[in-house]
Amino acid sequence: MVEFFQWLEATGGSVAIRESILLYPIIESTHVLTLCLFFGFIALMDLRLVGIALRGVPVSQITSRIQPFGVAGFVIMVISGALLFYSSPMRAYGNIFFRVKLVLIALAGINALLFHKTIFKSVDDWNDALQPPPRARLAGLLSLVFWSGVVICGRMQAYKWFD
Ligand code: HEM
User: With a 6 A CB cut-off, is 151 part of the ligand 1 pocket?
Assistant: yes
Half-sphere exposure of 105 (CA within 13 A, CB side): 18
Q: What is the CA radius of gyration of the chain?
A: 18
pLDDT of 12 strictly over 70: yes
**Each residue's pLDDT tens digit, 57-114:** 999 999 999 889 999 999 999 999 999 999 999 999 989 999 999 999 999 999 999 9
Q: What is the mean pLDDT of residues 20-38?
A: 94
Q: What's the confidence (pLDDT) of residue 161?
A: 60
**Each residue's pLDDT tens digit, 55-68:** 989 999 999 998 89
CB count in 10 Å sphere of residue 55: 13
User: With a 6 A CB cut-off, is 157 part of the ligand 1 pocket?
Assistant: yes
Tell me the pTM.
0.91
Q: What's the confidence (pLDDT) of residue 56?
A: 84
The Å distance, Cα 139 to ligand 1 centre, comes to: 23
- CA-closest residue to ligand 1 atom 8: 154
- Closest ligand 1 atom, CA of 92? 35
* DSSP structure string for 111-137: HHHHHHHTGGGGHHHHTT-SS--HHHH
pLDDT of 163 strictly over 70: no
- CA-closest residue to ligand 1 atom 25: 81
User: With a 6 A CB cut-off, is 37 part of the ligand 1 pocket?
Assistant: no
User: With a 6 A CB cut-off, is 82 part of the ligand 1 pocket?
Assistant: yes
Counts of helices then strands in the chain (DSSP H, E) = 8, 0
